[in-house]
Each structure stands twice: as C-alpha cells, then as structure tokens.
C-alpha cells in the first residue's frame, strides 16, 4: 500500500517537477548574474585605491596647545594641497619618550593626470597626542620633518581656542600670499636650489640667507614660492621657524632671522612651487648649517 501511494505521488508530482525545472534554472542564472555584478562593483570601488598613493603633505604651521585641567595636549597642523588632484588623507602619531613624531599625508594619483593643475588649498588638522606629560619637561613634536619644541605646562603652550585662531590666521595669510604671485607663464620644468649663502651680523646676532633657484641648465627662475625652515639650536630647546618668500627676476629669495641662542642651526629649503615647476630636492644645495656662539 505504501509502495502504491509513493508511485501515485511520484506520478502526480512529475508534471510539477517538469514545470519547476526551467524556473529553477532561470533563478540560478539570475543569482549568478547578480553575484558577478556585485563582484564587479566591488572591484570598481576598490580601483581608485589601487591608483592612488599617499604622499607627505607640505606643512605650513604647527601649534602645540594644552588643556591645563586635563593635561591633554593637541597639535594643530596646517597642511597644504598643491594640486587640484591632491586630497587630504590620514595622519599617524608615534611617540618615543620625549619625541612625538607625526606624519600627515595627502592622497594623489600614482600618475598625475594632465588636467591636474596647481591649486593651493589647505587643511586644518587637530591631532590629539595624549596627556602623559610631566610638567616642566621639554618635549619635541616633529611633523613631516618640521620641529616644534614645548615645555609641558610652560608659557609657550597655547590654549585650544588660541591655537585654533592662530591656525586660521596663518591659513588666511597663506592664501592671500598665493593670490599675490605674479602672473608669469608656466615653465613645466624641474628646478633646483642652486646655492644657499649666509651673511652674518654677529653684533646683533642676525643672519641673512639667500637662496638661488635655477633650472638644471642654471637659468634663474622668477616668481616662485620658496619655503624654508630654520631648525635649532640643537638641544632640548630646539625649535623650527618656517618662512616663505618669492624669487626675484634674478632667481633669488632672501630670508633673515635672529639667532637669540648659541648653537648649531640647520637652514633647509623645503618646497619650491609655482609656474608649473617641479622641485628636485636631490640636486643642488638645499641645506646650510649655521653655527653661532662660542
């Protein structure tokens, strides 16, 4: 009887099975197409990340601030994007005792497209560096090579609101300076810091540094923005001064500083921008050691 019932059910379901087979085949096909589509979409979303690279962002200003109630310290960084296809990216913080090293990055295409023109923009980065600082001790923050020393609880530390305002003012001044760059034709050539010379006035402890910017064929280049840093003196009170000047028709940009403490300083050309040029830091003379005192 059971065998007969089973045969009956099988005979009754056979037409149903025949009807379901094409439906199942169509469903499986549609599911396969959907999965392939999702896979292609994922690959499409991932493609830009494979075509871009992180590069160190030019740093325009660094201000260290603290909250006296919690001893929380914050580094305010004004970073720049020099091309239309630059976008601000991430940063990382590494601490080794009294040294806090910060790397700030921009994201750019692996190969700059032809329509990626020079265009200065800035980003305000507010970077927390913790509260484990002993009052009275000197610490050093290095952001993409730019150095800023501070004394925990010291007078050179800014409040959070003051630091934010200082960064805003620096950003405003930087963008105003960019608008004053003379309208000169694009060069689309690599340039080098050909020479760096220093003139001294030991009585008032001042130094005037001249930077000559040329093409590789030693032709002077006018109308470029030259950014330099003066780091020193070597020791616990090391600081970094940053300045930007334009090159004259002779290709020379001039900088002056007062060295109020004895010791060794390092003058360095960090960036040269404008007129479509590319700065080749591996050639020429981009550094100068300055010693003052006994």
Residue 96 lies in a domain: yes
Give the Cα separation of 214 and 224 in Å (integer): 10
Measured in whole angstroms, how far is the alpha carbon of residue 232 from the centre of its chain?
23
Residue 11 lies in a domain: no
Q: Pick from 155, 179, 203: which residue ends a domain? A: 179
Residue 48 lies in a domain: no
Specify whether 66 is located in the same domain as 175.
Answer: yes
Residue 6 lies in a domain: no
Q: What angle do CA 209, 210, 212 make, to 5 degrees?
A: 150
Specify whether 283 is located in the same domain as 173.
Answer: no
Specify whether 281 is located in the same domain as 223.
Answer: yes
The number of distinct structural domains making up the chain is 2
Residue 12 lies in a domain: no
Q: Which residue has the tokens 């059971």?
A: 2
Q: How far apart are the first and last CA of the chain?
A: 116
Give the Cα separation of 210 and 270 in Å (integer): 14
Residue 261 lies in a domain: yes
Q: Pick from 179, 207, 233: which residue ends a domain? A: 179
Specify whether 139 is located in the same domain as 74.
Answer: yes
CATH number (domain holding residue 262):
2.60.40.1930
What pTM does this model have? 0.56
Q: Pick from 179, 212, 234: which residue ends a domain? A: 179
Specify whether 140 is located in the same domain as 213.
Answer: no
Specify whether 144 is located in the same domain as 99.
Answer: yes
Residue 211 lies in a domain: yes
**pLDDT tens string for the chain (294 positions)?**
444 444 443 444 445 444 545 554 555 555 454 444 444 333 333 334 458 888 888 888 899 999 988 999 999 999 988 888 889 999 999 999 999 999 999 998 887 787 888 788 899 999 999 999 999 998 989 898 788 888 888 877 888 888 889 889 888 887 777 665 567 888 889 999 988 888 887 777 788 899 999 999 999 999 898 988 888 888 777 777 778 888 998 999 998 887 878 888 889 998 898 888 889 988 788 888 888 876
| Structural domain boundaries enclosing 246 | 190-292
Specify whether 166 is located in the same domain as 77.
Answer: yes
Cis preceding-peptide flag for 51 (omega within 30 of 0): no
pLDDT digits (tens, 9 = 90+) for 98-138: 999 999 999 988 877 878 887 888 999 999 999 999 999 98
Measured in whole angstroms, how far is the alpha carbon of residue 174 from the centre of its chain?
16
């Amino acid at each position: 009887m059971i065998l007969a019932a089973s045969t009956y059910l099988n005979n009754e379901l056979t037409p149903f099975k025949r009807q379901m087979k094409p439906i199942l085949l169509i469903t499986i096909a549609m599911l396969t197409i959907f999965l392939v589509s999702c896979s292609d979409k994922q690959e499409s979303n991932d493609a830009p990340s494979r075509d871009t690279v992180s590069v160190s962002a030019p740093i325009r200003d660094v201000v260290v601030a603290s909250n006296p109630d919690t001893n929380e310290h914050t580094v305010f960084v004004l970073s720049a994007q020099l091309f239309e296809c630059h976008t601000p990216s991430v940063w990382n913080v590494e601490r080794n005792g009294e040294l806090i090293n910060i790397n700030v990055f921009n994201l750019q295409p692996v190969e700059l497209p032809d329509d990626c023109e020079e265009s200065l923009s800035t980003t305000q980065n507010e970077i927390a560096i913790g509260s484990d600082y002993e009052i009275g001790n000197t610490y050093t923050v290095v952001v993409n090579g730019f150095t800023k020393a501070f004394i925990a609880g010291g007078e050179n530390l800014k409040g959070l609101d003051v630091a934010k305002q200082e960064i805003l003012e620096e950003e405003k001044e930087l963008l105003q300076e960019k608008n004053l760059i003379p309208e000169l034709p694009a060069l689309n050539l690599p340039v080098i810091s050909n020479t760096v010379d220093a003139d001294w006035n030991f009585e008032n402890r001042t130094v005037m540094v001249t930077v000559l910017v040329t093409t590789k064929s030693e032709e002077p280049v006018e109308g470029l923005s030259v950014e330099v840093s003066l780091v020193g003196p070597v020791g616990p009170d090391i600081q970094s001064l940053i300045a930007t000047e334009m090159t004259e028709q002779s290709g020379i940009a001039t900088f002056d500083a007062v060295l109020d403490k004895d010791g060794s300083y390092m003058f360095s050309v960090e960036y040269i921008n404008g007129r479509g040029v590319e700065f080749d830091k591996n050639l020429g003379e981009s550094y100068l050691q300055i010693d003052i005192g006994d």
